[in-house]
Amino acid sequence: METLVTEIAPDIYRLSTYVPDADFMFNQFLVDAEEPLLFHCGLRALFPLVSEAASTVIPLDRLGWITFGHVEADECGSLNSWVAAAPRAQVAHGAMGCLVSVNDLCDRPPVPLEDGQVIDLGGRRVRRLETPHMPHGWDAGLLFEETTGTLFCGDLFTAIGDAPALTEQEIVGPALAAEDVFGATCLTAATAPLMRRLADLAPTTMGLMHGPAYAGDCSTALRELADGYAERFARSQDG
């Protein structure tokens, strides 16, 4: 296995590892700025590969921030390995997630973020968006990089298989097909509205955790995904 590094937007790097046994890919994102930020730590088992890939972009002791969407092994399994490798980095997570999990799990006390809170990285600015239970996890949230319009959309649009680093090809169909296999998303009345709120950000690029980065019409893709979940939620209410 190898971790491929691709710049998907100015100073925004995708670190991508395809795991053939699972026919599934795991991506992390590095935002290079005065205080570089890592979004998703990745699986503990992949830390040697991913950290080596990250170090081709920046020395790890320059890393300023470590954050992720929700508590799960592929999001933060390697959190404490990153904390050890990046002595200056602050760990940040949603306030609820800090209270429930990360204050206890993390070797460095985390910075709790409120919904909509911006971290100015110096050259890049990221905003934490709380999305409780969407796609899953009480503490779930996403990250929007405002200067490039990049939405780090975590497990949204998760697809099975390998994928190119950056695409404008259709991502909604593969995502709904994977949803119907995995059932990974909490189907609630809030699921589709939260996705539509992300569409209102009008992102120019989306960084998928399990799929390609997407440079097509992101708002339309998010609204179509929301429609797919609205249908599934409606069906779940029948009978």
* Residue number, 33 or 37, with CB nearest to Fe ion: 37
State the DSSP code for 60. G
Q: Which is nearer to Fe ion, 11 or 155 (CB)?
A: 155
Among 31, 50, 156, 209, binds Fe ion (CB under 5 A): 209
Q: How many CB atoms lie within 10 A of CB 102?
A: 26
**Structure tokens, 87:** 């002595």
* Of 162 and 217, CB closest to Fe ion: 162
**Closer CB to Fe ion, 35 or 155, in the complex:** 155
Tell the smallest beta-carbon distance from residue 118 to Fe ion (Å). Answer: 24
Contact 110, 92 (CB under 8 A): yes
| Among candidate residues 157, 161, 140, the one with its CA nearest the CA of residue 96 | 140
Distance CA 53, CA 236 (A): 42
User: What is the closest distance, in whole angstroms, from the C-beta atom of residue 144 to Fe ion in the complex?
Assistant: 18
For the beta carbon of residue 1, count every other beta carbon within 10 angstroms: 11
Least Å distance between CB 69 and Fe ion? 7
Closest among 41, 43, 39, 21 to 31, alpha carbons compared: 39
d(C-alpha 110, C-alpha 93), whole Å: 7
Which of these ranges, 53-61, 78-86, 165-173, 205-213, lies near Fe ion under the rule CB under 5 A? 205-213
Give SS3 for 17.
Answer: strand
CB of 57 to Fe ion, least distance (A): 21
In the complex, least distance from residue 224 CB atom to Fe ion, rounded to whole angstroms: 21
| Whether 93 contacts 105, CB under 8 Å | no
Q: What are the structure tokens assigned to 162, written together?
A: 């390998």
Tell me if 72 contacts Fe ion by CB under 5 A.
yes
* Candidate segments 99-107, 193-201, 207-215, 216-224, binder of Fe ion by CB under 5 A: 207-215
Binding mask 109-148 for Fe ion (x = CB under 5 A): ----------------------------------------
Stretch that binds Fe ion, among 17-25, 92-100, 154-162, 194-202 (CB under 5 A): 154-162
Q: Which of 11, 32, 35, 74 binds Fe ion (CB under 5 A)?
A: 74
> How near is the Cβ of 151 to Fe ion at its closest, in Å?
15
Task: Return all residues near 33 (Cβ < 8 A) that are at least 6 apart.
Answer: 11, 64, 121, 122, 123, 124
Amino acid at 50: V
Exposure string (b/e) for 71-80, b if CB count within 10 Å is 16 or more?
Answer: bbebbbbbbb
Could you tell me how many residues of this chain bind Fe ion (CB under 5 A)? Answer: 4
Sites of contact with Fe ion (CB under 5 A)? 72, 74, 155, 209
